[in-house]
Amino acid sequence: MAYIYIPSMWRTLKPRYRLIGAKCRKCGMICFPPRRICMKCGETDNFEEVKLSGRGKVYSYTIIARGATVYEHRREGLSGGAFPIALIELEEGIRVLGQITDCKPEEVRIGMEVEVVFRRIYEQDGIIRYGYKFRPVRFRKIKERKA
């Protein structure tokens, strides 16, 4: 059973809420979530924060069946239907995993343009945990046309 570990939650809150990555000062590699050791060159504790654009394309995806979720997502997993989880390749070239929202599972396509949105992820012991999801860019385009 997965469980929220409060100190860990607070430590990772800022990157989770704001999509902040860490850029290695030695080789320029960006990682998200931030870590202490560069995956490319092995440099330790030598990163600067970078705000990720939150825009990218679906690299790969899968559909999670209704109820087939990890423990902390069980309520959402049972109340909703199937939902898509995708590996998103961000404009910065890194890949992050996230739920696709505001679209039907059957509408998700590889290469589909998406952007980040912040949403409620799940609730546990009265703590509502928010995080990022991705939605198709078409929603923003429709809004711009109306304006």
Chain contacts with Zn ion (rule: CB under 5 A)? 24, 26-27, 29, 38, 40-41, 43
Interior CA angle at 71 toward 66 and 74, to 5°? 35
| Closer residue to Zn ion, CB minimum distance, 50 or 117 | 50
Q: State the minimum distance, in angstroms, from the CB of residue 33 to Zn ion.
A: 16
Q: How big is the chain, counted in residues?
A: 147
Q: State the minimum distance, in angstroms, from the CB of residue 130 to Zn ion.
A: 30
| Closer residue to Zn ion, CB minimum distance, 26 or 74 | 26
| Closer residue to Zn ion, CB minimum distance, 38 or 88 | 38
Q: State the minimum distance, in angstroms, from the CB of residue 36 to Zn ion.
A: 12
> CB-based contacts of 89: which residues, under 8 Å, 6+ apart?
56, 57, 58, 59, 95
* Contact status, residue 90 vs residue 82, Cβ threshold 8 Å: no
